[in-house]
Amino acid sequence: MRVILNCIAFAVCFSNKTLFSLLYFFSFCCDAVDGWCARKFNQVSTFGAVLDMVTDRPSLVSLSLLALDIASHWLQMYSTFLSGKTSHKDVKDSTSWLFRLYYGNRMFMGYCCVSCEVLYIILLLIAKNQTENLMTVVVESLTQISPLSILLALSIFGWLIKQIINVIQMKTAADVCVLYDIEKQHKA
């Protein structure tokens, strides 16, 4: 459902911003309900977790951040299997307090994830056209004191934390993979 809604939303994103926002937001809500139902009814699967991770990535961010997000999640999932853990969210042994906070506190993780989704919608809604400079849009919006500028600032903060988490996640997962290889060589 989320993939179909996103396809329709992005097909109309520049011609009907209101419809895009509604479809995109509904898609995001479907994702949250799907995850809750999977956990509640014990229908969690590896395939579902990976599919969820891939479909959660928005299409409006720059390709480099999109690549970082997908790669860090993929590597995190891979390192989870190498270390014998059952969930990529099991980071209790991480040395990063921010990483532990992110995966250990659903409210904080939810804030960061929702901030990303809300930020993309706000930026699309306030941009006058698709070629407008993104930094100009953000700066102009933040200089105006309004509920939208406050929501934008809160969203940017959560989005920024999410990008930092992606970098930490990439490094942490890469370290697990390297340690796995070192241990494997010592056993051989």
> Nearest CA to 119 among 146, 144, 143, 153?
153
For residue 83, the tally of other CB atoms under 10 A from its CB is 14
**pLDDT tens digits, the chain, 188 residues: what are they?**
777 777 787 777 778 878 888 888 888 788 778 878 888 888 876 556 655 655 555 544 445 676 777 788 888 888 888 888 888 888 888 889 999 999 999 999 999 988 988 887 887 778 776 666 667 778 888 888 888 889 999 999 999 999 999 999 999 988 888 888 888 889 87
How much is the pLDDT for 100? 93
Q: Record the pTM.
A: 0.66
Confirm whether 181 is a catalytic residue. no
The pLDDT of residue 61: 44
Amino acid, res. 114: V
Q: What is the pLDDT of residue 154?
A: 95
Q: Under a CB-based contact definition with an 8 Å cutoff, are residues 116 and 58 in contact?
A: yes
The pLDDT value recorded for residue 98 is 94
Report domain extents, the chain.
57-187
Angle ∠(149,2,4) on CA atoms, nearest 5: 115
**Dihedral Cα 67, 28, 162, 103, nearest 10 deg:** -110
- pLDDT for the residue numbered 93: 83
Contact indicator for 2, 53 with CB cutoff of 8 Å: no
pLDDT of 129 reads 66
Catalytic-role residue among 52, 56, 90, 175: 56
